[in-house]
Amino acid sequence: MNVLNGIITEIRSNEGISLVKVKSNTFTFSSIVLDTPETVNYLVKDNVVQIIFKETEVIIAKDLNLAISIQNQIPCRIASLKKGIILSQINLVIQDSDQSIQSIITTNACEQLDLKENDKVLALIKTNEVSLSAHD
Amino acid sequence: MIQIDAYKMLQTADGELPLAISLTIEKGQFVAIYGNSGAGKTTILRILSGLTDAEKVNIKVGESIWDDSEKKVHLPVQKRSIGFVFQDFALFPNLTVKENLEFALSKNDSKEIVEELIDLMELQSLQNSKPQNLSGGQKQRVALARAIVRKPEILLLDEPLSALDDDMRFKLQDYILKIHQKYQLTTLMISHSIAEIFKLSDQVIVLDKGKIIKEGTPATVFSEQKISSKFQLTGEIISITKSDVVYIVQISSGNNIVKVIATEEDAKEYRIGQKVLVASKAFNPIIQVLI
Amino acid sequence: MINLDPLWLTAKLALITTVILLVVSIPLSYWLCYSRFRLKAVVEALISLPLVLPPSVLGFYLLIAFSPENAFGKFLSDYFDVRLVFTFQGLIVASVLYSLPFMVNPILSGLKNLPPALQEASFTLGKSRLTTLTKILLPNISASLFTGIIMTFAHTLGEFGVVLMVGGSIPEETKVVSIAIYEEVESMNYDNANIYAGILFLFSFSILLVVHLINNKSQKTTLY
């Protein structure tokens, strides 16, 4: 489970759904939640929240300039790799910060992309895969 | 309406622990008491039933006062309208199932209620057996039936299902619910199972080191808006197995077992038996119509 | 041929002592088990004293106490016309005191071994202490009661020192089997002593055998 702390910078709501921007160090995450500032009290601008997303939802791209719908495109460096038979775990460090996140992708994909330590990659996370949690 | 105010110094393995609680329960409610062992859960039931004294205690049930330590009022156990189901059943070994139930009758009571409860709890075939010949679940049914014979206002259950396997638990939960509703009881039950609390209770009290730290409906107490994810369930970790570079964590929740992938780092934090919240975004699950 | 009187007297003494002790020990054990009285340990120690004290010590004190020349004996003699020295009544009182632990201890340990929830469950079902004792507690310690009865009876059969001190050896009044054996030996009637001793030996052995057979069986029933 990837957990980062961030500050809410923007909230746009419509009919029960909110698009929330949360800044964590150098990167601003987008998250979509089925809540609005009216239904929960943590959705307030400048509030500190936790950004949570599953390793298995983190896509890796080697091409750093993508025309793609995914909103969260985080420039990272590969710190280490742990290859299994089917799956591999990739430990990433977000560029210009010391925050680390993990990605789990198939070992096939890992080999096709020829991922190695210190490669510069993009970590891609769909907006609807990012959960928010009130900081406690 | 039941009002309980109590203060008692508990002697625990880690020294003295003051139990100080104040509690109001509406008539007809099903209240679960949840908390670590040694938090004072059983003591609350024992004080309410009059089995244990407290330094300061004030108990009012409807219009009658059961305890008022200032005015030196203390209604004896026998006079309190309660049914108590003990953790280890406490069936009388010298009496048969039917005699255990009949023992609870007062002199002029009709035996009808005993027959009714034997039918309701499906004890017909066991009624002439002695307790030592019964299984855990059967004993528990007898203990439950016996506690109802006097038609008490309040039913107190001290971890009634902790010794039973899952199948038996689910069945007995249904019996408890049936009895609670049929006899319009106010029920207080100690339970360690969040799934069980969700299934049975209207209210839950979380006790920690002699204090009530949370109170409310099970939904608000256990799945308070902690996380924005809308697909949530609470359960207990039943296994953690390594699979390739990840771990598969099995979680049992109610009648279901779900599996969740975890990284090695996360899996290290988990242990079997831990109560957990499983959450996923509302965007992922797929719905398939069954019929 | 031996005189049968000492045998009847012994049986009568053991029977009466056992009945009295059963009646006295049930409430006493119940009190010892559940009371929070601070000096309970003192009472327990006093009850167990005959287990370790030489019977002659107890007999000596009782003889002094019962003697009409002393306050207690005089009181009994003046107000109730009861004399306890060298009488059968005196033997009964002495035997009751001497065999007390043999009845109290089994009943007490039986009560202590019962799960406390049994008594509490009965209370929550609206039953009084007395009903709980007679309908629930006692039936569930029947093995302990049986042990107490048999042990008391057997122990009273075999007492000597106390009887000799308090009762002396008055035929048909205080001359029990153990005293009779002593006297037969003193007057060199080994044959008669042998018969008395043999009867006592066989009788005591058989009742103890019965106790152990029954206890071994009942140990397998656990309580619920």
pLDDT digits 0-9 by tens, C95-114: 999 999 999 999 999 999 99
Does C126 contact chain B (CB < 8 Å)? yes
Does C182 have pLDDT greater than 60? yes
Is B265:A2 a contact under the CB 8 Å cutoff?
no
Burial string for B66-83 (b: 16+ CB within 10 Å, else e) reads: bbbbeeeebbebbebbbb
C136 touches chain B (CB under 8 A): yes
User: Can you give the pLDDT at residue C222?
Assistant: 43
Q: Is the pLDDT of residue A10 over 60?
A: yes
- Give Cβ neighbours of residue B199 (< 8 Å, ≥ 6 apart): B173, B177, B254
pLDDT at residue number C220: 47
Mean pLDDT of C66-77: 83
Determine the pLDDT at residue C67.
85
CB contacts < 8 A (B, C): 65
The verdict on a CB contact (< 8 Å) between B227 and A84 is no
Report the pLDDT value the prediction gives residue C221, as an integer from 0 to 100: 44
In this predicted structure, what is the pLDDT of residue B12?
80
Cβ-defined contact of B86 to C120 (cutoff 8 Å): yes
pLDDT tens digits for B151-160? 999 999 998 8
Q: What is the pLDDT of residue A135?
A: 66
Q: Hey, what long-range contacts does B162-169 have (CB within 8 A, 24 or more apart)?
A: B162/B87, B162/B192, B163/B87, B163/B88, B163/B136, B164/B136, B164/B137, B164/B140, B166/B252, B168/B136, B168/B137, B168/B140, B169/B193, B169/B196
Instruction: Assess C219–B contact: CB distance below 8 Å, yes or no.
Output: no
Distance between CA atoms of A31 and A133, rounded to whole angstroms? 11
Q: Note whether C115 contacts B104, CB cutoff 8 Å.
A: no
Domain that holds residue C81: 5-218
Sheet hosting strand B246-253, strand order edge to edge: B256-262, B246-253, B231-243, B275-280
Are the beta carbons of A132 and B282 separated by less than 8 Å?
A: no
pLDDT given for residue A69 in this prediction: 92
Name the nearest CA neighbour of B31 among B39, B43, B41: B41
Structural domain boundaries, residue A53 = 2-134
Of C117, C128, C221, the CB nearest to B90: C117
- The token duo for C49 is 């004293």
C-alpha–C-alpha distance, residues B2 and A115, integer Å: 66
Check CB contact under 8 Å for A129 and B281: yes
pLDDT of residue B224: 58
Over pLDDT 90: what percentage of chain A?
68
Mind listing the pLDDT tens digit for each residue in C145-169? 998 999 899 999 888 888 888 888 8
Our measurement of the distance from residue A97's CA atom to the centroid of its chain's CA atoms, rounded to an integer in Å, reads: 14
Q: Is C49 domain-assigned?
A: yes
**pLDDT mean across residues, chain B:** 89
How is residue B180 written in tokens?
């609670």
pLDDT at B226: 62
CA distance A8 to chain B (A): 14
**Domain assignment of residue C198, yes or no:** yes
Cross-sheet strand order for the sheet of B203-208: B82-85, B154-157, B186-190, B30-35, B203-208, B211-216
The residue among A77, A74, A75, A78 whose CA lies nearest residue A89 is: A78
Q: What is the pLDDT of residues B132-184, one digit of tens each?
A: 999 888 999 999 999 999 999 999 999 888 777 777 788 888 889 999 999 99
Q: Does B132 sit within 8 Å of C224, measured CB to CB?
A: yes
| Chain A residues inside the 8 Å CB shell of B220 | none
What is the structure's pLDDT at A136?
A: 57
CA distance C95 to chain B (A): 33
Facing residue for C224 by CB, picked from B78, B89, B103: B89
Mean pLDDT of chain C: 88
pLDDT at A37: 87
What are the structural domains, with CATH classification, of chain B?
A: 2-222 (3.40.50.300), 231-280 (2.40.50.100)
Size of interface A-B (CB pairs under 8 A): 57
CB distance from A19 to chain B under 8 Å? no
Residue C28 lies in a domain: yes
Question: What percentage of chain B exceeds 70 in pLDDT?
Answer: 98
Compare CB distances from B246 to A83, A87, A133 and report the shortest one's residue. A87
CB–CB of C18/C156 below 8 Å?
A: yes
pLDDT of A88: 93
Least confident of A75-89, B248-262, C27-41, C192-206: B248-262
- Across chain A, mean pLDDT equals 90
Closest CA to B224 of B194, B200, B258: B194
CATH number of the domain within which C120 lies: 1.10.3720.10
Structure token digits, residue B287: 């719905």
Is C120 within 8 Å of B132 when comparing Cβ atoms? Answer: no
Could B83 and C124 be called an inter-chain contact, meaning their C-beta atoms sit closer than 8 Å? yes
Distances (CA, A) of B149 to B92, B144, B243: 15, 9, 53
In sequence order, what are the residues at sequence separation of 6 or more whose Cβ sits closer than 8 angstroms to the Cβ of residue B158?
B42, B45, B84, B85, B86, B87, B190
Distance from CA of B175 to the nearest CA of C (A): 20
d(CA C79, CA C67): 15
Q: What is the pLDDT of residue C218?
A: 63
Cβ contact A82–B229 (<8 Å): no
Number of domains in chain C: 1
Number of structural domains found in chain A: 1
CB contact under 8 A, B228 and A35: yes
User: Does the residue C197 lie in any domain?
Assistant: yes
* CATH code assigned at A95: 2.40.50.100
Answer yes or no: is pLDDT of A5 > 70.
yes
The verdict on a CB contact (< 8 Å) between A33 and B228 is yes
Say whether residue C79 is in contact with chain B using an 8 A CB cutoff: no
Q: What is the pLDDT of residue B268?
A: 87
CA B77 – CA B82 distance, rounded (Å): 9
pLDDT for res C223: 42
Judged by a CB distance cut-off of 8 A, whether residue A80 touches chain B is: no
Which residues on B lie below 8 Å from C115 (Cβ)? 88, 90
